[in-house]
Amino acid sequence: MSLDAAPPISRPLTQRMADAVRTFDGPLTHELVLTPGKFGLGRLPATLQPTSVTQTVCGFCSTGCGLTVHLRDGEAVGLSPATDYPVNLGMACPKGWEALTVLQSDDRATTPLLRDAAGKLQPTDWDTALRTFCERFQNLQAKHGPESVAFLSTGQIPTEEMLFLGALAKFGMGFVHGDSNTRQCMATAATAYKQSLGFDAPPFTYADFEQSDVLVFVGANPCVAHPIMWERVLRNKRSPKIIVVDPRRTETAACATQHLAIQPKSDLTLLYAVAHLLIQSGWIDAEFVAAHTSGFDEFAAHVGRPQFAPETAAAACGLTISELEELAATIHQGERVSFWWTMGVNQSYEGVRAAQAIINLALITGNIGRPGTGANSITGQCNAMGSRMFSCTASLPCGREYTKEADRRETADLLGLDVNRIPAANSLCYDEILDAVRDGRIRGLWIIATNTAHSWINSAEAREVLAKLEFLVVQDMYVSTETAAAAHLILPAAGWGEKEGTFINSERRFGLLKKVARAPGQALADFAIFRALAEYWGCGETFAEWTSPEAVFQIMKRLSAGRTNDITGIADYAVLDRLDGIQWPCDAATAAALEQSQRADEIRERRLFADGRFAHADGRAKLLFDEPRPMPERPCGEYPLVLLTGRGSVSQWHTQTRTSKSAVLRKLYPGRCYVEIHPADAVVIGVTTGDAVVVESRRGALTAAAFITSAVGRGRVFLPMHYAAVNRLTLPHFDPYSRQPSYKDCAVRLRRSKEQPET
């Protein structure tokens, strides 16, 4: 039975429940005829010669590369980067090339698993699994109230599934609390944009990488984290100046015109000091400021104080005055200056204000809304933007707010719901949900496609918290994650390539994900699991219209009408497929222009705010600022080093749940945890490259192989985040506005070890 052929809701409930469970057997879709010779497939053995190809989007990072999947008898046998997709132009990184491989793994979840009385996970059938899910959560709600259960969503599933999950849990099942793992990566950027620009609206398009004459990267290492975006920078023919602000000499910093190796967490001071210099020198776009911003006088007074004067600020940032002055002069001299940031800014206890300090620089210099400009947050996960727009976690769909009655009513009307089904209060955030588990307010948790026990800050404590739950459901592709190990019930999910839907990438482009492989065993698309759960829970009729991902895409269009992210002009999936994805916004006029443009780049790759009108009611962007604060856990005699964390290599993805399944990818990154140590710090403990060292914080310790390099400054060490042990060390502290964890600053010490480095 295909997903499109959903059972009519008038049939008896038991039959509907049974049918809902069978919806996994969907067809492989969207095949196109192969153009012989176009895709260079001569190396495939004759038995594997594909007979057709189809185009899909990658499911790892937020770049959203187009991939051409080669099909034989309708099933994928290989892939290559799509040559004319406007994002990647024929390029892909190793993760994209290996996207099919990681689906083939012995630890795929193939059947529901239920923990028995002896504490062992045992295979069970879907009917038992779904009944257990509903009974256990409903019992908790009946006994302890609706706030005793919660869910944790993800940036890894299609937008339609995210919306279904959030709507099902909150409007169907009566959950009050649900957050997403995008809290760990993009909450800061989303909050910063919303406060400053009036809507969570990254303004750029990837063409801006090629059209800037100055690119300023703050806390971003696209060479490793977003390699195809970096390839777009390399296509820039304007001989751009590339400035990198980062405590480490990253791969991107090594390519930069100017690298400012700042003291960890001095970025806010640096950015205010640059604003100080620009304003004092008269290097601002006064006309733009007057016409399109508010709060300039207050901002100028704030950054005009002596603490942001070059001589004071340079010392605080560990820079020279001339380095600061050179940065300000380069920004001034650039006609097209673009500012880019990612986790070095977002994952900070003052990340929102740092992101807004970047936005302020773009605003006061008039570098927004024009080619090659912008205050541009690069997203992390493949569908973090989908989560920000549609997941019903931190906000109602399309930026509406739970606490505003008008927004609740509008959402209820658009979804055909009783408004009383929509909570009138905001959900607890991720850290607050775990706090509530710790103190017994939350007793049941449903985690979908994320690995909390590995990725959450101070992970040892997170694992203790998960162990307190009376009922933990993990819905995932793999049974081997650290979080699945704690589950009472595992729901086996299909992965990328085994289902359909849309992802929204960093430049706001909806890309179409297609089903090109069958999920193993009884694993179901998350969409099918949500449909089945709606029926078993007894709220199936509320979601009678939610029959397929494309049906939900039509609901998403309705929710977006008249909003900043309006997509009402995108007729259906076929249009997304034909036009190589479409950026939001896209109303009917834009859609018509896209159809007529013959793929003209200026309409295929659109940026926001060309008219200088922002999404606040007065049309102006706000210049927001605050006082910089010191790191809460500073180096001291006992713990003398600052621990930095970040991405390790292009072949690793987050907790390595998927990338560890590819032998090719495993060969491209170190199998054991390593720590970068400055030569002067290595001498102190007498280690050289390859020696085992213990890295220890106040919360935990790990053993890693020493890698001695001056890329990391003296007094700092760097650990790649992909190894499970790393978050044993990190300090749980959060940005006060975004509640995003600050992963990149805590105090540690080193000592030699005889143990093997951890994997």
Q: Which stretch binds ligand SF4 (CB under 6 A): 90-98, 205-213, 511-519, 544-552?
A: 90-98
Report the residue number, 215 or 729, with the smaller CB distance to ligand SF4: 215
508: left (phi > 0), else alpha (psi -120 to 50), else beta?
left
Q: Which stretch binds ligand SF4 (CB under 6 A): 54-62, 163-171, 511-519, 681-689?
A: 54-62
Report in angstroms how near the CB of residue 60 gets to ligand SF4 at its nearest. Answer: 3
Among 7, 26, 30, 60, binds ligand SF4 (CB under 6 A): 60
Report the alpha-carbon distance of residue 84 to residue 68 in Å, rounded. Answer: 10
Q: Which stretch binds ligand SF4 (CB under 6 A): 31-39, 61-69, 256-264, 681-689?
A: 61-69
Report the residue number, 230 or 639, with the smaller CB distance to ligand SF4: 230
Report the residue number, 86 or 96, with the smaller CB distance to ligand SF4: 96
Residue 285: exposure state from Cβ atoms within 10 A (0-12, 13-18, ≥19): middle
Residue type, 118: A
Based on the shown chain and the rule CB under 6 A, indicate whether residue 58 belongs to the binding site for ligand SF4.
Answer: yes
Among 54, 55, 63, 564, binds ligand SF4 (CB under 6 A): 63
Residue type, 134: C
Report in angstroms how near the CB of residue 754 gets to ligand SF4 at its nearest. Answer: 37
Report in angstroms how near the CB of residue 398 gets to ligand SF4 at its nearest. Answer: 25
Report in angstroms how near the CB of residue 61 gets to ligand SF4 at its nearest. Answer: 3
Among 65, 157, 253, 486, binds ligand SF4 (CB under 6 A): 65
Closest alpha carbon to 695 in 638, 748, 747, 758: 748
Spell out, one character per residue from 171 to 210, where the chain touches ligand SF4: x when CB under 6 A holds, - when not.
----------------------------------------
What's the order of all strands across the beta sheet hosting 489-492? Answer: 121-123, 113-115, 489-492, 471-476, 444-448, 149-153, 177-180
CB 515 within 8 A of CB 497: yes
Report the residue number, 91 or 362, with the smaller CB distance to ligand SF4: 91
How far, CA to CA in Å, does 376 sit from each of 244, 286, 361, 517?
A: 14, 22, 12, 35
Q: Which residue is nearest to ligand SF4 (CB)?
A: 96
Report in angstroms how near the CB of residue 97 gets to ligand SF4 at its nearest. Answer: 7
The CA radius of gyration of the chain, in Å to the nearest whole number, is 25
How far, CA to CA in Å, does 552 sit from each of 328, 544, 555, 587?
A: 47, 11, 5, 18
Q: Which stretch binds ligand SF4 (CB under 6 A): 60-68, 256-264, 565-573, 581-589?
A: 60-68
Spell out, one character per residue from 507 to 536, where the chain touches ligand SF4: x when CB under 6 A holds, - when not.
------------------------------
Report in angstroms how near the CB of residue 475 gets to ligand SF4 at its nearest. Answer: 23
The pair of structure tokens assigned to 736 is 């006060």
Q: How long is the chain?
A: 759
Q: Which stretch binds ligand SF4 (CB under 6 A): 41-49, 87-95, 244-252, 296-304?
A: 87-95
Report the alpha-carbon distance of residue 571 to residue 577 in Å, rounded. Answer: 11
Residue 2: exposure state from Cβ atoms within 10 A (0-12, 13-18, ≥19): exposed
The pair of structure tokens assigned to 720 is 């790649």
Report in angstroms how near the CB of residue 747 gets to ligand SF4 at its nearest. Answer: 33
Residue type, 312: T
Q: Which stretch binds ligand SF4 (CB under 6 A): 63-71, 124-132, 262-270, 495-503?
A: 63-71
The pair of structure tokens assigned to 490 is 């595992």
Report the residue number, 60 or 573, with the smaller CB distance to ligand SF4: 60
Report the residue number, 98 or 350, with the smaller CB distance to ligand SF4: 98
Report the alpha-carbon distance of residue 631 to residue 609 in Å, rounded. Answer: 35
Q: Which of residues 707-746 bind ligand SF4 (CB under 6 A)?
A: none
Spell out, one character per residue from 8 to 47, where the chain touches ligand SF4: x when CB under 6 A holds, - when not.
----------------------------------------
Among 61, 207, 428, 750, binds ligand SF4 (CB under 6 A): 61
Report in angstroms how near the CB of residue 91 gets to ligand SF4 at its nearest. Answer: 8
CB 758 within 8 A of CB 673: yes
Report the alpha-carbon distance of residue 495 to residue 493 in Å, rounded. Answer: 6
Residues in contact with ligand SF4, total (CB under 6 A)?
13
Report in angstroms how near the CB of residue 380 gets to ligand SF4 at its nearest. Answer: 10
Closest alpha carbon to 164 in 436, 370, 448: 448
Among 7, 50, 64, 713, binds ligand SF4 (CB under 6 A): 64
Residue type, 286: A
Report the residue number, 353 or 658, with the smaller CB distance to ligand SF4: 658
DSSP calls for 472-518? EEEEESBS-STTGGG-SEEEEB--TTSS-EEEE-TTSEEEEE---SP
Report the alpha-carbon distance of residue 379 to residue 182 in Å, rounded. Answer: 10
Report in angstroms how near the CB of residue 90 gets to ligand SF4 at its nearest. Answer: 11
Can you point out the beta strands (E) in 564-677? 582-583, 621-622, 641-646, 674-677
Report the alpha-carbon distance of residue 459 to residue 660 in Å, rounded. Answer: 20
Report the alpha-carbon distance of residue 540 to residue 56 in Å, rounded. Answer: 30
Residue type, 604: R
CB 171 within 8 A of CB 339: no
Report in angstroms how near the CB of residue 553 gets to ligand SF4 at its nearest. Answer: 21
Report the residue number, 61 or 215, with the smaller CB distance to ligand SF4: 61
Q: Which stretch binds ligand SF4 (CB under 6 A): 55-63, 126-134, 702-710, 739-747?
A: 55-63
Report the residue number, 90 or 123, with the smaller CB distance to ligand SF4: 90
Neighbours of 698 (CB within 10 A): 13
Based on the shown chain and the rule CB under 6 A, indicate whether residue 624 belongs to the binding site for ligand SF4.
Answer: no
Spell out, one character per residue from 219 to 258, where the chain touches ligand SF4: x when CB under 6 A holds, - when not.
--------xx------------------------------
Q: Which of residues 91-110 bind ligand SF4 (CB under 6 A)?
A: 92-93, 95-96
Residue partners of 234: CB distance under 8 A and separation at least 6: none
Report the residue number, 88 or 148, with the smaller CB distance to ligand SF4: 88
Q: Alpha-carbon dihedral of residues 213, 219, 220, 221, nearest 10 degrees?
A: 110
CB 126 within 8 A of CB 21: yes
Residues of this chain that bind ligand SF4 (CB under 6 A)? 58, 60-61, 63-65, 88, 92-93, 95-96, 227-228
